[in-house]
Every structure is written in structure tokens, then in C-alpha cells.
Chains A and B, each alone.
Chain A
Amino acid sequence: MPPIPTTERDLRLDLFRGLALWLIFLDHIPTNVVSWLTIRNYGFSDATEIFIFISGYTAAFVYGRAMNDRGFLVASARILRRAWQIYVAHIFLFAIYMAEIAYVASSFENPLYAEEMGVLDFLKQPDITIVEALLLKFKPVNMDVLPLYIVLLLLFPPILWLLQRAANLALGASVALYAVSWEFGWNLAAYPSGSWYFNPFAWQLLFVFGAWCALGGAERLSDVLRSRVTLGVALAYLLFAFAITLTWHIPSLGQFVPNWLGALIYPIDKTNLDVLRFAHFLALATVTVSFVSRDWPVLKSPFLRPAILCGQHSLEIFCLGVFLSFGAHFIMSEISAAVGMQVMLSISGVFVMVGAAALITWYKGVEGRSPGSRPKSADADLAGGEA
């Protein structure tokens, strides 16, 4: 009998995914003073880890139930449909990106940057560039998360099947794949050279771990999570990571990092989901769940509502965030990049994201009530957040 996930919606997932989407938006605006607020400056991991983990969690939650109710084939078809939607969204963003940089490029001439402008050479060969983009090999800066998500979903049906039957075996296989990809340097190829910025063979660990937690793993871990020792270790590790990141911002503190320690921890590899980053995410999650319980009344308060709304429509809001960060860069290039402008663009961007999420919620509510509309139960959004 496969484990049946609890049916009550866990608002914490929506809340933290919403917050992660805001942070990803803020981090994607180049030269943004507000991005000093984001967690990447205070530890090893960043909002990407949160986003991928919660996406794995909700994917297992939503499609796990579909697999129980409707069988492997139907659930797989839904997962693949979701992957297709994300692919279309990615290509749409790519078109917007091309429009932005083509404009910025044509309006920009500065002899100081003769070399840097060479990056626009790909505009001269659209035949190759567009095909490579369709193949997900050519990925502009900051457009790496959705391709990762697509690959993770494509691989998800058999993983979910195994997770429902032998959860620990599936998690073990995921860890093994992670280890093997580190050992042999496995990654997908990118264009024009190199490989994927987020290595799917490594990052799948976080996604599968999220799914494992959703399908009963979190409950199995609850004794460990509740222990004071675990909390102490997690807090100590967060403090250690904070101390190390401090030396990146204040280089004169670098002398206090002994050479052996530096040799041990550096470089902290984001592409391959460095163990230090994974551990940092685990520590953050441990501390978070021990202070924010599932039935914390504040979760239902209007103050957290904006972030929760964003987290409930993650694909749309993620794409909007990428678009807004392009827009912010465009305005900074064409008008001003002053600190006041950075703050204003950041705040208005978050407002636009919240407004869009509220609009989508309203629309789905209206559509759900009107006669002849799709039955609600099939909609991933309403079953505990999108997958």
C-alpha cells in the first residue's frame, strides 16, 4: 500500500516558495542594492535550493495523489504536460530576452566595451542560436532554472513510482546518481561551450529529497527534526556559513580563515550543488520547521498572504520575475541605475508579482465556479500549490 500524502494544504510550502520567488527576482537584477537582503549573502545556499526543494515536494504531493487515484499512465501524462508548459514558458521568456538585448545592443556603443559587445555575435547567426535555444543548450544568463525544472519533471514519473513503493531505495538511488555525477563529472552540454549552469544530475538530489519528504519522509524524520541536538548542529552550521560568507564581503577578514579550511571548502560549487550548499539548505529547513509549525496562526494572517499567493502560482510568478528583472535592467540601462531607482524597481517588481498572483487566484476562482468549467480536482494549483 503506497503511502497516501496528507490532504491538508501546508501553507508553509506556499509561503517559502513565494519568498524564494521574490528573492530570485531581486538577485536577478544585476547591480541591485536590495539584493543585499537576500539569503545568498548570509550563507552558502540561496533561493534556488528552496525553490527546487519545494517544487519536488509539491510535485510528489500533487502527482503522487494522481498516481494513486488514476494510475501511473495518467499521472505521467500530467507530469509531462507540466514539463511542456514550462518549456513553452521558457521559450517565451527567451523571445523577450532576445528583444531586450537586441534593443540594448543596437542603442549601445562605447569604445571601452568593444570586446564585451562581442557577446552579441550570436544575434548574427539566428539559425544556430534559436535552434540551440529550442534544444535548451543555449541559455541566456539567469535563464537556467526552468530548463533544470523541465529535465527534473521529465525524469520524475519513474522516480515517483519508485518513491511510492520503496521510498528509501529511491532516495538512495538519487544520492548515488549525485555521487556518480560528481565522480565522473556528468553534466549536460551547453552552447556555445561548457555545460549546464545547474547540473540536473546533481540538482535532482534536492528535488527527489523534497519528493521523499512529501511522501512520508518528513514524518519519519520528525523525531530527528524535533531533537535539540539537531537544532543545535543546524544553528552552529548556519553560524559557520555566515562567518565564512562575511569574509567574502569584508576581504580583510579573510586572514582568519585558515588555509587548510579554505582548501577544504573552496570552491563552493553551485553548478553541481556543492555538499556545503545542500547541508546549508538542510540546516535552514531544520531551523525553519522547528520555529514555524504547520498550524502557526500567522500563516493565515493577511501579512503573509502576498508571499503565499505568489508561491501558489509559482510558474507564472517565476516567469514574471525573470521578465521583470530584464525590464529592471532595461530601465537601469536606459534611464538610471541610481540606488533610489534600484530600490524602487525592486519594490515595484514585488508589487507587480503579488498583483499578478492575486489576479490569477481571482481568475481561477471565477472559472472554477462558472458552469461548464474544468473540474477543480484535476488542477494542481488547488491541491497544495503547483507542482
Chain B
Amino acid sequence: MKALVAALGVWGLSIAAAAAQHPDACDVPGYLLFGDGELRRVTAAVKESQRLDILIIGTGSSTLTGPDGSLHAYPARLELTLAKRLPNVAVKVKTYTAGRQTAQVMANELRKTLAAEKPAVVVWQTGTIDAMRGVEPDAFATALNSGVEAIQAAGADVVLMNMQYSPRTETMIAVGPYAENMRWVAQQQGVPLFDRLGIMRHWSDTGAFDFYAATKAYSVAQQVHECIGRALAAQIIDAAQLGPMTAKVGP
């Protein structure tokens, strides 16, 4: 048995070594982009007042721990990328994250938050906690719908963001039904979905990142967030038609 496992290991390692590592290849193929999703309020805000206020509402995976964690997390990288890409626009990204909140709790919270903030677009990252707790998928979809409607009623565009691709926990967290519900709600409500799950899975397939790796280092997590921030910026620019085809689209 030991010999078999060792043989497996050698074979597996040789395959892993053959898959070249491209840490900078965080391009996103076209089929994972927003598609026809539009961000009309973003377009209008940029045209009228040269401002772009973005509010990110999320849980633990919208931030990073460690030294200067929030500077390296995707919201900060999004702001930086947008500011570079849109030099004449005042870009501001605000982040509200609270760990361990289900979509239902967040939907209630964001009503209060939106009473104080007036963003052009809200990026709502959710789903992970609901999948971990096994919340009823129907109840999850209902919470998503009510949250999306509340954001739209407050006069902002919505971008939904789904879970991270986390292969190590795949036998522990069944994200499938929740990801499907998010896609379905996004389609029904006509709001764009930032398919973080699909995008990260793509990066895993191309060998850009090894998400199985057990590492305490922050550098990999920071690179992933850098890539997510850039991909999100590209998709917002694209959906709000803010650039002369600025979005970097793969084949």
C-alpha cells in the first residue's frame, strides 16, 4: 500500500511539475465576464459628475488578515486599478465587511448602510456562509432578491459576487446549489454576476495558482486579491462602457 501511494505521489508530482506556473496570468476568458450586464447608474454618475463611488459589502473573503491586509485585499486593488484606468474620475471604494453573515443578515444590514451611503454601485459578495451553514437554498435566493431590490431602490447598480474556489474544502462546503441560485437571481434581476468561483477555478486550471497549497504566506493570497481586483475593475469598466474597450478580454 505504501509503495502504491508513493508511486501515485511520484506520478502526481511529475504531472504537477509539468503544469507551468504563471503567477501573472490572471486574465479572465470572455465566457466568465458579465456578458450583457449593464451598469447604467455607474455610466451616468461618471458622465455627470466624474465620480465613481463603489460600496463593497461582503464577508471574510472580501478582506485579508495580516500586515496591511486591507491594503492588499481586492477592494483596495479595485480602487487602484480603476483610478489608473480612469484618470479623470474620482474613484472611491468603501468596504463594509463582517465575518460570518448570511445573505439574509446582510440584506437587512445593507438597508441601514445604504441610508448613509450613496454609491453608484454596490458589489455584494455573499454565499459562502450560507453554504457553510446549509441555509435552505430557497431562503438564500429570497434573501438575495430582497437585497438586490433594496440596493436598486436606493438608486444604485448591483454586482453580485459569489464564493471563492476552495478545492480543499470541497468535501466540506457544498457551494454548488448556492452558486446556481446566485446565477439564477442575477439573471432574473438582470444584474451582473462577478463569477469569482468560476474565475478562480479557471486560474487553477491554467496553473496560474495552486489553490490546494497549504501555505501560511500572505503573498499568494495577496496575488489572488490583486487579480480579483483587476478583473473586477475590468468588468465594471466594460459593463458601464467607460473605456474604449479597456477591458482585457481573453480569447
Contacts and interface: CB of A to CB of B under 8 A. Distances in A.
A120 B167 contact: no
Contact of B11 (A110, A193, A339, A341): A341
Interface centre among B15, B60, B128 (most CB of A within 10 A): B15
Given A115-B59, A262-B187, A267-B181, A335 B9 contact: yes
A195 B136 contact: yes
A331 B12 contact: yes
Interface string B173-184: 110010011001
A192 interface: yes
Interface stretch (B46-54, B116-124, B144-152, B215-223): B215-223
Contact of A108 (B15, B60, B214): B214
B166 interface: yes
B69 to A, nearest CB: 8
Interface string B199-216: 000000000000111111
Contacts of A344: 8, 11
A222 interface: no
B168 A118 contact: no
Contacts of B211: 112
Nearest to A101: B172
Contacts of A117: 169
A141 B171 contact: yes
Contacts of B172: 101, 119-120, 140-141
Nearest to A97: B171
Report, nearest first, the 10 A-B pairs whose CB atoms are least far apart: A336-B12, A115-B60, A30-B170, A338-B15, A112-B221, A194-B134, A335-B12, A336-B16, A340-B15, A194-B136
A109 B218 CA distance: 11
A266 B221 contact: no
B19 interface: yes
B167 to A, nearest CB: 6
A48 interface: no
B221 A340 contact: no
Interface centre among A104, A332, A338 (most CB of B within 10 A): A338
Contacts of B59: 115
Interface string A103-125: 01001111111111111100000
A10 interface: no
A323 to B, nearest CB: 12
A118 B134 contact: no
Contacts of B184: 266-267
Interface string A344-368: 1000000000000000000000000
A251 interface: yes
Contacts of A263: 188
Contacts of B128: 115-116
Nearest to A121: B132
B137 interface: yes
B133 interface: yes
Contacts of B141: 267
Interface centre among A100, A113, A140, A331 (most CB of B within 10 A): A113
A212 interface: no
Interface string A236-274: 000000000000001110000000001100110011000
B213 A341 contact: no
Interface string A71-105: 00000000000000000000000000100110010
15 contacts: A110-B216, A113-B169, A116-B164, A116-B173, A117-B169, A119-B173, A192-B133, A194-B133, A194-B135, A329-B170, A331-B12, A332-B167, A335-B12, A338-B16, A341-B11
A333 B218 CA distance: 20
B96 interface: no
Given A193-B135, A333-B167, A110 B215 contact: yes
B81 interface: no
Contacts of A173: none
Nearest to B181: A267
A300 B9 CA distance: 38
A190 B128 CA distance: 18
B95 interface: no
Contacts of A181: none
A127 B67 CA distance: 36
A194 B129 CA distance: 13
B15 A339 contact: yes
Contacts of B135: 193-194
Nearest to B198: A251
Nearest to B100: A118
Given A119-B173, A339-B15, A341-B11, A31 B132 contact: no
A129 interface: no
B87 interface: no
Contacts of A104: 168
Nearest to B209: A112
B8 A331 contact: yes
A326 interface: yes
